[in-house]
């Protein structure tokens, strides 16, 4: 008989084979996937820098260093007030228990990674599809604080796990807690429990009670959400002597501090709540005083911490209830920045924190990394140039009429920035003179009214970009009241009559700047009525927007636009042509803006940091300037040539020095509270601002700022070869009435006459007619006041009377022409 025991249906055999094949495929896939994952992980770990966890104490207080362009140490950064190391034995047991209870309840059981917690987090994320559940242990968080970064990536997580095992191998649990509690961020710029205790309760960490320990422990999960206090505006009804005052940095686009806020600040100063330095910063719109109010969300988090501590047997029910019912009172401790030893490194520190934040760090983490992370920060500073700049600006002979204010700060003050326009490196910078101490008001970063120094970068650069030429002719004369809604007047009531754009800039004509600005988007050939022979249709909104776009494209960040404030903004001719802005422009941004002209029409953000390295030598940041074309090479050269005229025979003559060509522009506000000179040579661009901290009138004008600029740049250039600005291709020269003018290709004039340069026969004909009819009368008008002062003898009275009548008739004719143009 046949044995049928092994006989199976053919279908079952096929199914069994398929299952076996699938099983083998799955196993193979797992092996391949596992090998791939292992290969990736090993690749990540191979690149991970070698660490020595046993050196954590020195690393937590490891000083970051700033180096000059030639590798010399400029400054070692120290900031005890932001991060103060405290040994484990001085940390309250309640604080240690609170941190363990809320952050890592199995901390004393695992070896760096809590796999039970990891599994729970994966299940939670799959259920909620949020993928937000964290599973980092205290050890992993310490690895992040000390060795990796704060970016959310798989690579960082794998590296954290790898380092966690090494940390657990080398350190005891107490040492790990000591390192973690001294490196964790607790909001408001605080790093470490000692700083947190002093910031929020104005006491040493060893003095914290259970309720305060639980509150601080709850912050680390989401510092911004669970911060112990928020800030609110100080109200008139507040008792200034009994509020917790916090000073916040001002946003560049926020409104200036009101008279009410300044009055409150002065009262706070009298009460000892605000010191003299803080008061100056408030008056200069750098800080605003607010009050601290308790954050109830932190109370909810505190309750959870206490509940976890009770559940884990770390406190008794009695202790729990007592802490739960305790009233928490915020007492803001003094936490003033330290370690800022110069103006340049002040800017470096601000930029370093910004760079670290852009890399994924919070503000607290970035601050901790900067001051305690052992960073190497390389800058483009030229030490010799920096020393020269500081020596020149500190000489009192350049500031006659000086005095010492009631805060003991010498006035007037000064700021200056020197940039290599070809590389965009900030080579030297000062933000004041004869000022020392832990905290400095860096005036190089403070916006001030630019006056006429804004004209080249707002009016004339935009005009050239929109088809204007240096030879275009305008009528520079006193305008009727409120023409175009404004009443611009030239300084000293000096007017040139019919003249070119070049001369308008050379003599810093306010009237001319208005007219050129309005013409940026004007239709110059429009006929507004049948009797009009030469009229224009203006598009003021478009002209203003084009000037704003130009300024923004060259790094000016302090323009208040209508979208920011519909009623209080800079979108008008007075701010954009004469510099009467809401905030102004800082000397740093003014120097940067002028580099676009000096660098043949190309702009990139000026920088003070070339590279940042971690304590292990990894490159965290490498500068990569991105140039963009703001104008053509030809337009940049033409504007440079016009600015050379300002220095050769215009308002900037005091800036000229032998050996180098100089181009630049003066600037003086109408009340002489700010005076400027911003200019450049073929080597460097430099801005100089002089003014009083409290906006008082100066005893001198912009000729003095130009003179100081000369002293700075003459010293900077003393060992450099003489150099001229290089003329690019596409520049054409024309002469008219003995005057030379240069033009870019495509803007060459077709005709010239004794008045100017013209590109079309119709334009030439109407300009000739208008100029011939009115040139003499305009000259009489502009000199009318002087003629009245020079009375002739009685025998000439009749002639003078006739001339006066003739002048009045011609004045009326001139006015009608301007009104036609409006």
Query: Whose CA is closest to 355, among 622, 160, 83?
Result: 622
Q: How far apart are CA 125 and CA 641, in angstroms?
A: 65
> pLDDT class for 120, splitting at 50, 70, 90?
low
Alpha-carbon distance of 362 to 346, in angstroms, equals 20
**Residue ranges per structural domain of the chain:** 82-351
Lowest-pLDDT range of 47-56, 318-327, 699-708: 47-56
Q: Please give the angle made by the CA atoms of 586, 589 and 595, to the nearest 5 degrees.
A: 145
Backbone torsion region of residue 584, taken as left when φ is above 0, otherwise alpha when ψ lies between -120 and 50, otherwise beta = left
pLDDT for position 293: 94
Q: What DSSP character marks residue 456?
A: I
What does the block give as tokens for 271? 């009460």
State the pLDDT at residue 39: 67
State the pTM of this model: 0.68
Count of residues making up the chain:
822
Q: Which helix (H) or strand (E) holds 64?
A: strand 64-67
CA gap 90, 92 in Å, rounded = 6
C-alpha 255 chain-centroid distance: 17
Element (H, E) at 140: helix 138-146
Predicted local distance difference test score (pLDDT) of residue 57: 82
Which of 485-494, 562-571, 661-670: highest mean pLDDT?
661-670
In percent, the amount of the chain with pLDDT more than 90 equals 54
Q: Which of 393-407, 598-612, 751-765 has the lowest mean pLDDT?
A: 751-765
What is the secondary structure of 164-220 as a DSSP string? HHHHHHHS-HHHHHHHHHTT-B-STT-BSHHHHHHHHHSS-GGG--HHHHHHHHTTT
* Cβ-contact 417, 642 below 8 angstroms: no
Give the residue-averaged pLDDT of 277-282: 74
Tell me, what DSSP letter sits at residue 567? S
- The radius of gyration of the chain's CA atoms, rounded to the nearest angstrom, is 35
Report the CATH number of the 82-351 domain.
1.10.3810.10
Per-residue pLDDT tens digits for 428-464: 999 998 775 445 678 999 999 999 999 999 999 999 9
DSSP per position, 7-46: ---HHHHHHHHHHHHHHHHHHHHHHHHHHHHHHHHHHHHH
Higher pLDDT, 219 or 44: 219
Range 31-55 burial, b when 16+ CB lie within 10 A, else e: eeeeeeeeeebeebeeebeebebee
Highest-confidence segment of 63-72, 390-399, 625-634, 690-699: 625-634
Distance CA 144, CA 71 (A): 29
The crossing angle, in degrees rounded to 10, of helices 633-649 and 587-598 is: 120
Q: What is the pLDDT of residues 578-599, one digit of tens each?
A: 999 999 999 999 999 999 999 9
Lowest mean pLDDT: which of 95-99, 123-127, 738-742, 777-781?
Answer: 777-781
Cα(283)–Cα(263) distance, rounded to whole angstroms?
A: 10
Element (H, E) at 677: strand 674-680
pLDDT > 80? residue 803: no
Is the confidence at residue 132, as pLDDT, over 50? no
Angle at 656 between CA 627 and CA 716, to 5 degrees: 60
pLDDT computed for residue 788 by the predictor: 40
DSSP 598-667: HTTTEE---BS-SEEE-TTS-EEEE-----EE-S-HHHHHHHHHHHHHHHHHSTTGGG--TTB--EEEEE
Could you give the percent of the chain with pLDDT greater than 70? 79
Confidence of residue 30 (pLDDT cuts 50, 70, 90): confident
Of the candidates 442, 434, 430, 444, which has an alpha carbon nearest to the alpha carbon of residue 381? 430
Q: Which residues pair with 191 in a beta bridge?
A: 83, 185
What number is the average pLDDT over the span 1-27? 64
Report pLDDT for 755: 61
Reading the block at residue 284, the tokens are 């200069």
Spatial contact of 477 and 774, defined as CB atoms under 8 Å apart? no
What does the mean pLDDT of the chain come to? 83
Spatial distance between the Cα atoms of 488 and 477, rounded to a whole number of angstroms: 10
Pairing of strands 473-476, 497-500: antiparallel
Over the stretch 693-724, which tens digit does the pLDDT of each residue have?
888 899 999 999 999 999 999 999 999 999 99
pLDDT in tens, 346-355: 899 999 999 9
Q: How confident is the model at residue 45 (pLDDT cuts 50, 70, 90)?
A: low
Q: Which of these ranges, 324-333, 457-466, 483-492, 711-720, has the smallest mean pLDDT?
A: 483-492
Note the pLDDT of residue 84: 75
pLDDT(530) > 50: no
pLDDT at 40: 65
Task: Please say if the pLDDT value at position 339 is more than 50.
Answer: no
- In the structure encoding, which two tokens stand for residue 769, read together? 């007619």
527 versus 705: the higher-pLDDT residue is 705
Cα 142 from Cα 162, distance rounded (Å): 12
725 pLDDT more than 80: yes
Answer for the pair 622, 611: CB distance below 8 angstroms, yes or no. Answer: yes
Q: How many separate helices (H) and strands (E) can be counted in the chain? A: 29, 23
SS3 string, 152-167, reads CCHHHHHHHHHHHHHH
Is the distance from CB of 629 to CB of 579 less than 8 angstroms?
Answer: no
Q: Of 148, 202, 191, 178, which is closest to residue 371 (Cα–Cα)?
A: 191
Measured CA to CA, the distance from residue 126 to residue 324 in angstroms comes to: 35
Question: pLDDT by residue (tens digit) across 603-659?
Answer: 999 999 999 998 878 899 999 999 999 999 999 999 999 999 999 999 999 999 999
Bond before 348 cis per omega within 30 degrees: no
């Amino acid at each position: 008989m046949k044995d049928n025991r092994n006989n199976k249906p053919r279908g079952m055999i096929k199914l069994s084979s398929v299952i076996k094949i699938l099983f083998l495929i799955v196993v193979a896939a797992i092996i391949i996937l596992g090998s791939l994952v292992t290969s990736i992980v090993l690749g990540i770990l191979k690149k991970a820098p070698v660490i020595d966890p046993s050196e954590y104490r020195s690393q937590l207080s490891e000083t970051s260093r700033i180096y000059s362009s030639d590798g010399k140490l400029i400054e070692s950064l120290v900031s005890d007030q932001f991060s103060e190391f405290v040994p484990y034995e001085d940390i309250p047991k309640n604080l240690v228990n609170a941190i363990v209870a809320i952050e890592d309840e199995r901390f004393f059981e695992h070896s760096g990674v809590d796999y039970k917690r990891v599994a729970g987090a994966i299940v939670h994320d799959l259920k909620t599809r949020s993928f937000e559940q964290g599973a980092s242990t205290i050890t992993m968080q310490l690895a992040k604080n000390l060795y990796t970064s704060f970016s959310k990536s798989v690579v960082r997580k794998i590296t954290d796990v790898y380092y966690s095992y090494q940390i657990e191998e080398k350190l005891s649990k107490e040492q790990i807690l000591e390192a973690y509690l001294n490196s964790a961020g607790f909001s408001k710029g605080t790093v470490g429990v000692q700083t947190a205790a002093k910031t929020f309760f104005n006491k040493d960490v060893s003095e914290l009670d259970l309720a305060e320990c639980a509150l601080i422990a709850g912050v680390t999960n989401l510092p911004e959400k669970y911060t112990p206090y928020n800030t609110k505006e100080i109200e008139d009804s507040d008792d200034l002597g009994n509020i917790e005052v916090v000073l916040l940095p001002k946003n560049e686009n926020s409104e200036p501090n009101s008279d009410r806020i300044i009055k409150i600040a002065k009262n706070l100063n009298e009460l000892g709540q605000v010191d003299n330095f803080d008061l100056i910063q408030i008056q200069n719109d750098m800080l605003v005083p607010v009050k601290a109010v308790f954050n109830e969300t932190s109370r909810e988090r505190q309750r959870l911490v206490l509940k976890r501590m009770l559940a884990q047997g770390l406190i008794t029910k009695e202790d729990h209830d007592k802490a739960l019912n305790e009233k928490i009172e915020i007492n803001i401790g003094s936490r003033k920045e330290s370690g800022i030893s110069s103006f340049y490194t002040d800017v470096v520190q601000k930029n370093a924190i910004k760079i670290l934040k852009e890399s994924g760090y919070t503000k607290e983490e970035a601050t901790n990394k900067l001051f305690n992370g052992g960073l190497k920060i390389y800058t483009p500073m030229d030490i010799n140039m920096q020393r020269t700049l500081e020596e020149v600006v500190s000489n009192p002979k350049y500031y006659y009429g000086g005095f010492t204010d009631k805060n003991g700060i010498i006035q007037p003050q000064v700021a200056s920035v020197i940039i290599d326009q070809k590389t965009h490196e900030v080579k030297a910078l000062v933000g004041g003179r004869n000022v020392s101490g832990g905290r400095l008001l860096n005036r190089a970063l403070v916006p001030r009214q630019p006056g006429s120094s804004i004209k080249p970068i707002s009016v004339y650069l935009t005009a050239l970009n929109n088809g204007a030429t240096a030879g275009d002719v305008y009528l520079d004369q006193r305008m009727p009241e409120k023409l175009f809604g404004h009443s611009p007047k030239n300084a000293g009531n000096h007017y040139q009559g019919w003249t070119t754009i070049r001369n308008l800039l050379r003599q810093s004509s306010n009237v001319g700047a208005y007219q050129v600005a309005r013409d940026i988007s004007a239709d110059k050939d429009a006929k507004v009525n049948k009797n009009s022979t030469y009229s224009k249709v203006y598009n003021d909104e478009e002209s203003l927007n084009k000037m704003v776009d130009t300024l923004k494209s060259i790094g000016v960040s302090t323009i208040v636009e209508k979208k920011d404030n519909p009623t209080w903004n800079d979108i008008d001719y007075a701010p954009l042509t004469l510099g009467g802005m809401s905030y102004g422009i800082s000397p740093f941004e003014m120097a940067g803006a002028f580099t676009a002209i000096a660098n043949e029409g190309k702009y990139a953000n000026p920088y003070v940091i070339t590279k940042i390295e971690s304590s292990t030598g990894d490159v965290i940041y490498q500068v990569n300037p991105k140039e963009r074309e703001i104008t053509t090479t030809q337009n940049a050269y033409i504007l440079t040539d016009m600015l050379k005229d300002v220095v050769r025979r215009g308002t900037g003559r005091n800036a000229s020095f032998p050996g180098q060509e100089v181009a630049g522009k003066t600037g003086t506000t109408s009340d002489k509270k700010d005076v400027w000179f911003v200019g450049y040579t073929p080597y460097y661009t430099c801005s100089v601002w002089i003014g009083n901290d409290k906006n008082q009138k100066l005893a001198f004008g912009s000729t003095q700022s130009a003179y100081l600029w000369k002293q700075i740049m003459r010293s900077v250039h003393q060992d450099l070869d003489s150099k001229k600005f290089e003329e690019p291709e596409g520049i054409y020269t024309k002469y008219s009435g003995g005057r030379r003018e240069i033009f870019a290709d495509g803007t060459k004039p077709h005709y010239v006459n004794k008045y100017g340069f013209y590109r079309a026969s119709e334009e030439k004909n109407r300009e000739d007619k208008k100029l011939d009819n009115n040139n003499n009368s305009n000259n009489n008008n502009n000199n009318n006041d002087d003629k009245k002062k020079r009375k002739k003898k009685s025998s000439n009275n009749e002639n003078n009377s006739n001339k006066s009548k003739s002048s009045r008739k011609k004045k009326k004719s001139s006015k009608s022409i301007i009104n036609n143009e409006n």
